């Protein structure tokens, strides 16, 4: 045999089906989606040849128990013998392949061959009867999961279209239950633009009788509130109370964003339903909206995005990116619109979804400016919205961190300053932004040293008399890069106030890492630490109004002062939850021992009476 | 806020990457330290390094990493080494951005990285690749070209940067050398989409703007600008890249350039990476200069933190301000690097 023979790879079809059902598709139920997609493609193709033609799909379930069969019939373009060979006989070969497809872009959703194979997940035999609109004899194709199939020309002439017969597999009875099929057909085909009917048990039911016009024209949804909410609740299974219409500028993507009626975690999976050509392709599309938009669940239609092989997501490409940006803008614009026209509505949304609103506002100045009055903050005047706090007609201060707030809140309250806790997630960024956007607002970042502005300075006379002691205390804490200040302030119960700038906070963690790193990196950190200047000093304010401090700084306790100052310093660190360096821990330990020693000798001196 | 470690970590995991997340992670690390729990301190810092390095906080990343490496060296069997070794690359990749760190220590760090990779059984490719990148950052361009050839000959392994990242660095080198044709040629697999990752083509496109402008057309370059800017706007990590877009706009569209400048100034203002800031400052100065020279009397909108320190906000004054910032950084780098690369670069950009 000198002639060259052509061989084909043998593909184990049952293995393929296993792969399909276990890896490509999330559940066998998608066979109905695939069949509806094939029907949709066939109807689309026939419509393009004959504009007056109106397609329809009917699904019939017959028989009971293990003898159930399902027929899915469409009046679409049908298949010629050649088509059958091309689409059904070769896996992976579908109407999408080839130059024609590229020209048509996404006018066809499915891949006929693969789609049909998914039926083997629920049926051990597939029979396709078809008559092409292009003429020729009617054809029958019978396929088995072992990969064998037969094709035969029929003697009778069928009506134009395609019928697919499935025979229920023993373990797939559930997928042939009329109620379940009805549910799935609605789920996948509720929006199909041609009638889909289900015949079972002698009854005929329309699956998609009412076609919501507002879905294709989302702007109309505003006038049909109740209908829109009910429809969304049925398809998305959540009791919605509010929604936002979506539409991109080119009109090729749109839909409804339903506001979730409960708070969600920031990293919650964002599952939206997306219809391609009015056919559901994905009910877990995550990447079609920006990340911050996780407080909505959407019904979206599009004809411009490319589904992935499983058709459950979309390819991450430039077009998806711009669709995502635009849909995000539509949501944002609507929220901005609410801010000026329906503030109560916006307020309800903010109350439910504070965190995502803050995340969005932190990135988007215009949005921030719309919503800031309704953001709630912890303050020295209680937990209030910024709008309410602004009505106090007081200058508003905010801290950068929770620690700062905690350090100065009681001091600030004692001076009746209005201070917001800017430390919680996003608050600081938002407050910086609000102050930037609204220079007329009296909103200012409170530096720890600002609180001290309202502290009373010592008189010249006092300064003179405390000069030596102040200096001694300052020298004591010099090695910890901490300044001391002697002031008078309320409340007098408070002996000392420790304040730490951002820089000194960074320096503290740098020093800490330096202690425990490798030699090389420690010296690198040393180089970096050396460039921190004066600003990296922390400050320890001593309150002369406090009786203890006033006694301590009296000239007679010169001997005790350094140790006491060190103890107050380490105490302040512990109160502020700052991890201590080795040096600081050593000081604390020595201090405790020394004070016990002093206490004992003082007791011994006055005859051993205890307090 | 009486949160314990687990609560803080859970809260952090729920947050998108950024400053808010870092602050919660730092609180968790402080908590672990105060409790003396090294394992938890290590866990929190792993997250800090990862979040900080990609969001414009290289110093926070370096501090956390240094602590980790110290703990690891004391007890190597207590920690999984792969992630630590992987983050070492990030640290070494940015260490030269701090002008306070002397040249010999940068060298020692790259050597230490190479030594550790060898000990862990990795090929030389990653080490040579970081030699190449560091040399490029230090303005040692001949050395960089040398290392570029060397690293490409070595084998890839699990420690290697992804192909897109490597290719991107090659494009950068050619673009910086002014070899526009080579830059465009090297960028082909990136532009076609065959190579991409979380930072590519984001960064690459910015390096191609001028080559495209010179070799192809303004229209091509503009398309790359629109595409590239959309990928990076709003992301702090790309402030240097935004600077390069401003450079492109300052020779094609001053109005749009000012928009970018106003939009990103606040982001640059408290950025932790002095090198990225220098690039942003320099090209902002260039833009403001050109706008002033066109006779415009525009007053840019500035963040509060900035207005506080500058009384005069005329274009001329601002141009001068940012030029001084850029030049003084350039001078610092040159002094450290022992060459005149950055001063020449900056003076060239500022030449009217």
Q: Is residue B69 part of a domain?
A: yes
How many domains would you assign to chain B? 2
Is residue A446 a contact partner of residue A397, using CB atoms and an 8 Å limit? yes
Give the pLDDT confidence of A241-258 residue by residue, as tens digits: 999 999 999 989 999 999
Task: Give the separation between CA B4 and CA B28, rounded to whole angstroms.
Answer: 8
Q: Does B283 touch chain A (CB under 8 A)?
A: no
Give the pLDDT confidence of B48-88 residue by residue, as tens digits: 999 999 988 999 999 999 999 999 999 999 998 999 999 99
**What is the mean predicted confidence (pLDDT) over A13-27?**
68
- State residue A310's pLDDT score: 63
Mutation target to probe the B interface, by most B beta carbons within 10 A, among A423, A513, A515 is A513
Of the spans A254-268, A450-464, B84-98, which averages the highest pLDDT?
Answer: B84-98
Q: Note the pTM of the prediction, 2 decimals.
A: 0.68
Q: Which of B79, B108, B140 is the last residue of a domain?
A: B79
User: Is A362 or B52 the better-scoring residue by pLDDT?
Assistant: B52
Give the confidence band of A8 by pLDDT, cuts at 50, 70, 90.
low
Is residue B260 a contact partner of residue B45, using CB atoms and an 8 Å limit? no
Q: Is residue B186 part of a domain?
A: no
Nearest CA to CA, how far is B62 from chain A (Å)? 8
Residues of B in contact with A359 (CB under 8 A): 16
Strand pairing of A149-153 and A538-543? unpaired
Asked if residue B148 has pLDDT above 90, the reply is yes
Give the confidence band of A114 by pLDDT, cuts at 50, 70, 90.
low
Asked if residue A6 has pLDDT above 90, the reply is no
**What is the mean predicted confidence (pLDDT) over B143-165?**
95
Residues of B in contact with A518 (CB under 8 A): 66, 69-70, 73
Q: Which residues pair with A168 in a beta bridge?
A: A123
- State residue A150's pLDDT score: 85
- State residue A144's pLDDT score: 82
Give the pLDDT confidence of B2-23 residue by residue, as tens digits: 568 998 898 888 777 887 788 8
Give the pLDDT confidence of B81-135 residue by residue, as tens digits: 999 999 999 999 999 999 999 999 999 999 999 999 999 999 999 999 999 999 9
3-state secondary structure of A12: coil
Residues of A in contact with B71 (CB under 8 A): 516
Nearest CA to CA, how far is B289 from chain A (Å)? 25
Q: Is residue B73 part of a domain?
A: yes
Nearest-Cα residue of chain A relative to residue B197: A316
- State residue B306's pLDDT score: 66
Task: Find the CB nearest B101 among A513, A517, A524.
Answer: A524
Say whether the peptide bond before residue A491 is cis (omega within 30 degrees of 0).
yes
The answer to whether A522 contacts B66, with C-beta atoms less than 8 Å apart, is yes
CA–chain centroid gap for B142, Å, is: 22
- State residue A100's pLDDT score: 37
* Per-residue CA distances from A76 to A39, A55, A540 (Å): 7, 6, 83
- State residue A430's pLDDT score: 87
Residues of A in contact with B64 (CB under 8 A): 513
Interface of A with B in 320-349 (CB under 8 A): 321-322, 325
Nearest-Cα residue of chain B relative to residue A579: B34
Interface of A with B in 43-72 (CB under 8 A): none
The answer to whether B63 contacts A520, with C-beta atoms less than 8 Å apart, is no
Please, what sign has the CA dihedral across residues B315, B318, B324, B325? Answer: negative
Task: Give the separation between CA A377 and CA B12, rounded to whole angstroms.
Answer: 20
Of the spans A218-222, A267-271, B302-306, which averages the highest pLDDT?
Answer: A218-222
Q: What domain range is B293 assigned to?
A: 233-352
**What is the mean predicted confidence (pLDDT) over A262-285?**
76
Asked if residue A105 has pLDDT above 60, the reply is no
The answer to whether B14 contacts A267, with C-beta atoms less than 8 Å apart, is yes
Q: What is the ipTM of this complex?
A: 0.87
3-state secondary structure of A139: strand
CATH, range A213-344: 3.30.230.80
**In sequence order, what are the residues at sequence separation of 6 or more whose Cβ sits closer than 8 angstroms to the Cβ of residue A20?**
A114, A117, A118, A121
Q: Does A124 touch chain B (CB under 8 A)?
A: no
Q: Which of A36, A43, A79, A47 is nearest to A198 (CA)?
A: A36
Backbone angles phi, psi at A196, to 5 degrees: -115, 125
Q: Does B191 touch chain A (CB under 8 A)?
A: no
Query: What is the DSSP track for A118-131?
Result: GGGGTEEEEEEEEE
Q: Which residues pair with A497 in a beta bridge?
A: A541
Residues of B in contact with A531 (CB under 8 A): 100
Size of interface A-B (CB pairs under 8 A): 105
**What is the mean predicted confidence (pLDDT) over B292-304?**
86
Q: What topology is assigned to A375-452 in CATH?
A: Rossmann fold (3.40.50)
Q: Does A533 touch chain B (CB under 8 A)?
A: no
- State residue A106's pLDDT score: 38
Q: Which of A166, A134, A184, A159 is nearest to A56 (CA)?
A: A159
Q: Does B198 touch chain A (CB under 8 A)?
A: no
Q: Angle at which helices B202-215 and B239-250 pack, to 10 degrees?
A: 20
Give the pLDDT confidence of B235-270 residue by residue, as tens digits: 888 999 999 999 999 999 999 999 999 889 888 887
Tokens standing for A555?
Answer: 């000239």
Q: Which of A99, A130, A133, A95 is nearest to A115 (CA)?
A: A95
**What is the mean predicted confidence (pLDDT) over B313-318?**
90
Q: Is residue B161 part of a domain?
A: no
- State residue A111's pLDDT score: 53
Q: Tell me the domain boundaries of chain A.
A: 13-206, 213-344, 375-452, 455-501+537-605
Task: Give the separation between CA B148 and CA B179, rounded to whole angstroms.
Answer: 15
Q: Which of B35, B50, B79 is the last residue of a domain?
A: B79
Q: Which residues pair with A123 in a beta bridge?
A: A168
The answer to whether A512 contacts B33, with C-beta atoms less than 8 Å apart, is yes
- State residue A110's pLDDT score: 47
Say if residue B60 is exposed, middle or buried (CB neighbours under 10 Å; 0-12, 13-18, 19+): buried
Q: Does A5 touch chain B (CB under 8 A)?
A: no
Q: Is residue B21 part of a domain?
A: yes
Number of Cβ within a 10 Å radius of residue A339: 20
Length of chain B: 352
Task: Please count the CA atoms within 13 angstroms of the CA of B46 that sit on its side-chain side.
Answer: 17
Number of Cβ within a 10 Å radius of residue B297: 8
Q: What topology is assigned to A13-206 in CATH?
A: Heat Shock Protein 90 (3.30.565)
Nearest CA to CA, how far is B73 from chain A (Å)? 8
Mutation target to probe the B interface, by most B beta carbons within 10 A, among A403, A425, A441, A532 is A425
Tokens standing for A256?
Answer: 């409804």
Q: Does B90 touch chain A (CB under 8 A)?
A: no
Q: Is residue B128 part of a domain?
A: no
The answer to whether B24 contacts A425, with C-beta atoms less than 8 Å apart, is yes
**What is the mean predicted confidence (pLDDT) over A373-398?**
87
User: Is B270 or A607 the better-scoring residue by pLDDT?
Assistant: B270
Task: Find the CB nearest B30 among A517, A520, A579.
Answer: A579
Nearest-Cα residue of chain A relative to residue B109: A520
Tokens standing for A306?
Answer: 């490319």
Q: Is residue B197 part of a domain?
A: no
Task: Please count the CA atoms within 13 angstroms of the CA of A79 that sit on its side-chain side.
Answer: 29
* Per-residue CA distances from A86 to A44, A113, B297 (Å): 19, 9, 69
Mutation target to probe the A interface, by most A beta carbons within 10 A, among B66, B205, B306, B309 is B66
**What is the mean predicted confidence (pLDDT) over B30-47?**
92
Give the confidence band of A102 by pLDDT, cuts at 50, 70, 90.
very low
Helix (H), strand (E) at residue A434: helix A427-437
**What is the mean predicted confidence (pLDDT) over A199-228?**
86
* Per-residue CA distances from A555 to A110, A484, B22, B84 (Å): 91, 17, 46, 54
Helix (H), strand (E) at residue B287: helix B274-293
Q: Which of B79, B111, B128 is the last residue of a domain?
A: B79
Q: Which residues pair with A131 in a beta bridge?
A: A161
Mean pLDDT of chain A: 82
Of the spans A27-41, A190-204, B51-65, which averages the highest pLDDT?
Answer: B51-65
Mutation target to probe the A interface, by most A beta carbons within 10 A, among B37, B106, B115, B304 is B304
* Residues in binding site of A for ATP: 34, 38, 74, 162, 311
The answer to whether B70 contacts A513, with C-beta atoms less than 8 Å apart, is yes
Task: Give the separation between CA B284 and CA B262, rounded to whole angstroms.
Answer: 10
Cα first-last separation, chain B: 55
Q: Angle at which helices A30-49 and A178-189 pack, to 10 degrees?
A: 50
Give the confidence band of A21 by pLDDT, cuts at 50, 70, 90.
low
Asked if residue A608 has pLDDT above 60, the reply is no
Is residue B13 a contact partner of residue B50, using CB atoms and an 8 Å limit? no
Give the confidence band of A71 by pLDDT, cuts at 50, 70, 90.
very high
Place of tokens 């990136």: B190
Task: Give the separation between CA A117 and CA A483, rounded to whole angstroms.
Answer: 77
Residues of A in contact with B271 (CB under 8 A): none
Interface of A with B in 432-491 (CB under 8 A): 432, 435-436, 439
Tokens standing for B199?
Answer: 């930072």
Give the pLDDT confidence of A501-551 residue by residue, as tens digits: 777 878 888 888 898 899 999 999 988 888 777 667 888 999 999 999 999
Backbone angles phi, psi at B104, to 5 degrees: -65, -30
CATH, range A455-501+537-605: 1.20.120.790
List strands edge to edge, sheet with A279-285.
A243-247, A253-259, A296-302, A272-276, A279-285
* Per-residue CA distances from A547 to A454, A543, A554, A571 (Å): 20, 9, 11, 18
Q: Does B15 touch chain A (CB under 8 A)?
A: yes
Q: Which of B1, B50, B51 is nearest to B27 (CA)?
A: B1
Q: Does B118 touch chain A (CB under 8 A)?
A: no
Task: Find the CB nearest B34 among A509, A530, A577.
Answer: A577
The answer to whether B14 contacts A325, with C-beta atoms less than 8 Å apart, is no
Provide, for chain B, the percentages of residues in helix, strand and coil under a 3-state DSSP scheme, each rounded to the nearest 5.
75, 0, 25
Asked if residue A57 has pLDDT above 50, the reply is yes
Q: Does B82 touch chain A (CB under 8 A)?
A: no
User: Is A145 or B190 the better-scoring residue by pLDDT?
Assistant: B190
């Amino acid at each position: 045999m000198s002639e060259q023979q052509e061989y084909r790879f043998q593909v184990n079809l049952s293995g393929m089906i296993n792969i399909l059902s276990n890896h490509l598709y999330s559940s066998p139920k998608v066979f109905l989606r695939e069949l509806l997609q094939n029907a949709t493609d066939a109807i689309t193709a026939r419509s393009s040849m004959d504009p007056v033609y109106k397609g329809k799909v009917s699904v019939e379930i017959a028989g009971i128990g293990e003898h159930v069969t399902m027929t899915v019939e469409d009046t679409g373009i049908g298949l010629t013998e050649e088509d059958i060979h091309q689409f059904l006989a070769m896996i992976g070969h579908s109407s999408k392949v080839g130059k024609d497809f590229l020209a048509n872009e996404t006018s066809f959703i499915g891949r006929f061959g693969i789609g049909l194979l998914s039926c083997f997940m629920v049926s051990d035999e597939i029979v396709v009867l078809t008559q092409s609109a292009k003429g020729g004899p009617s054809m029958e194709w019978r396929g088995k999961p072992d990969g064998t199939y037969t094709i035969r020309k029929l003697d009778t002439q069928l009506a134009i279209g395609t019928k697919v017969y499935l025979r229920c597999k023993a373990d797939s009875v559930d997928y042939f239950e009329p109620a379940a099929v009805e549910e799935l057909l609605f789920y996948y085909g509720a929006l199909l633009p041609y009638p889909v009917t289900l015949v079972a048990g002698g009854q005929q039911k329309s699956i998609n009788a009412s076609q919501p016009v507002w879905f294709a024209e989302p702007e109309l949804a505003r006038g049909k509130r109740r209908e829109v909410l009910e429809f969304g609740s049925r398809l998305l299974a959540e009791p919605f109370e509010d929604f936002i219409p979506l539409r991109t500028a080119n009109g090729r993507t749109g839909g409804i964003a339903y506001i979730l009626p409960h708070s969600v975690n920031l990293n919650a999976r964002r599952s939206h339903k997306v219809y391609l050509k009015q056919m559901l392709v994905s009910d877990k599309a995550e990447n079609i909206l920006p990340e911050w938009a996780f407080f909505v669940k959407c019904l979206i239609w599009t004809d411009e995005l490319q589904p992935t092989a499983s058709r459950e997501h979309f390819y991450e490409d430039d077009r998806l990116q711009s669709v995502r940006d635009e849909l995000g803008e539509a949501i944002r614009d609507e929220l901005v619109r609410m801010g000026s026209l329906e503030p109560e509505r916006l307020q309800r949304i903010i109350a439910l979804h504070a965190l995502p609103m803050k995340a969005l506002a932190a990135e988007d100045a215009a949005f921030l400016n719309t919503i800031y009055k309704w953001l709630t903050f912890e303050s020295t005047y209680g937990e209030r919205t910024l709008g309410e706090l602004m009505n106090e007609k007081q200058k508003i201060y905010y801290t950068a961190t929770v620690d700062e707030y905690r350090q100065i809140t009681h001091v600030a309250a004692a001076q009746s300053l209005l201070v917001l806790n800017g430390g919680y997630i996003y608050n600081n960024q938002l407050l910086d932004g609000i102050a930037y956007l609204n220079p007329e607002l009296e909103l200012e970042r409170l530096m720890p040293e600002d609180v001290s502005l309202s502290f009373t300075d010592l008189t010249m006379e006092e300064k003179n008399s405390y000069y030596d002691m102040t200096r001694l205390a300052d020298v004591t804490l010099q090695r910890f890069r901490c300044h001391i200040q002697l002031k008078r302030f309320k409340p007098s119960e408070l002996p000392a106030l420790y304040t730490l700038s951002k820089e000194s906070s960074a320096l503290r963690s740098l020093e800490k890492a330096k202690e425990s790193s490798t030699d090389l990196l420690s010296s690198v950190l040393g180089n970096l630490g050396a460039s921190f200047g004066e600003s990296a000093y922390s400050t320890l304010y001593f309150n002369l109004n406090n009786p203890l401090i006033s006694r301590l700084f009296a000239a007679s306790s010169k001997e005790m002062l350094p140790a006491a100052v060190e103890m107050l310093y380490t105490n302040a660190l512990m109160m502020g939850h700052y991890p201590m360096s080795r040096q600081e821990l050593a000081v604390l330990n020595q201090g405790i021992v020394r004070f016990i020693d002093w206490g004992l000798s003082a007791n011994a001196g006055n005859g051993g009476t205890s307090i | 806020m009486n949160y314990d470690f687990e609560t803080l970590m859970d809260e952090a995991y729920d947050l998108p990457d950024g400053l808010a997340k870092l602050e919660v992670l730092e609180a968790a690390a402080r908590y672990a330290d105060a409790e003396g729990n090294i394992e938890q301190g290590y866990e929190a810092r792993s997250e800090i390094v990862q979040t900080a390095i990609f969001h414009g906080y290289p110093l926070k990343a370096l501090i956390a990493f240094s602590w980790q490496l110290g703990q690891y060296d004391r007890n190597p069997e207590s920690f999984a080494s792969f992630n630590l070794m992987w983050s070492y690359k990030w640290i070494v990749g940015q260490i030269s951005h701090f002008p306070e760190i002397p040249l010999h220590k940068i060298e020692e760090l790259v050597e230490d990285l190479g030594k550790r990779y060898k000990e862990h059984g990795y090929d030389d490719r990653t080490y040579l690749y970081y030699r190449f990148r560091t040399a490029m950052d230090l303005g040692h361009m001949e050395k960089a070209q040398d290392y570029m050839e060397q690293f490409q000959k070595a084998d890839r392994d699990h420690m290697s940067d992804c192909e897109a990242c490597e290719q991107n660095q090659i494009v950068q080198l050619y673009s910086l050398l002014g070899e526009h044709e080579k830059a465009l040629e090297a960028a082909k697999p990136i532009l076609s989409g065959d190579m991409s990752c979380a930072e590519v083509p984001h960064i690459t496109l910015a390096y191609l703007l001028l080559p495209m402008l010179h070799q192809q057309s303004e229209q091509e370059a503009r398309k790359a600008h629109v595409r590239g800017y959309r990928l990076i706007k709003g992301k702090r990590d790309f402030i240097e890249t935004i600077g390069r877009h401003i450079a492109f706009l300052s020779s094609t569209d001053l109005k749009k350039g000012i928009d970018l400048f106003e939009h990103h100034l606040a982001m640059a203002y408290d950025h932790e990476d002095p090198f990225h800031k220098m690039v942003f400052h320099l090209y902002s100065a260039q833009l403001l200069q050109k706008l002033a020279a066109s006779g415009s009397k525009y007053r840019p909108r500035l963040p509060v933190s900035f207005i506080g320190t500058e009384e005069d906000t005329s274009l001329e004054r601002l141009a001068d301000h940012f030029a001084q910032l850029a030049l003084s950084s350039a001078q610092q780098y040159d002094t450290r690097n022992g060459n005149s690369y950055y001063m020449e670069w900056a003076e060239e950009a500022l030449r009217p």
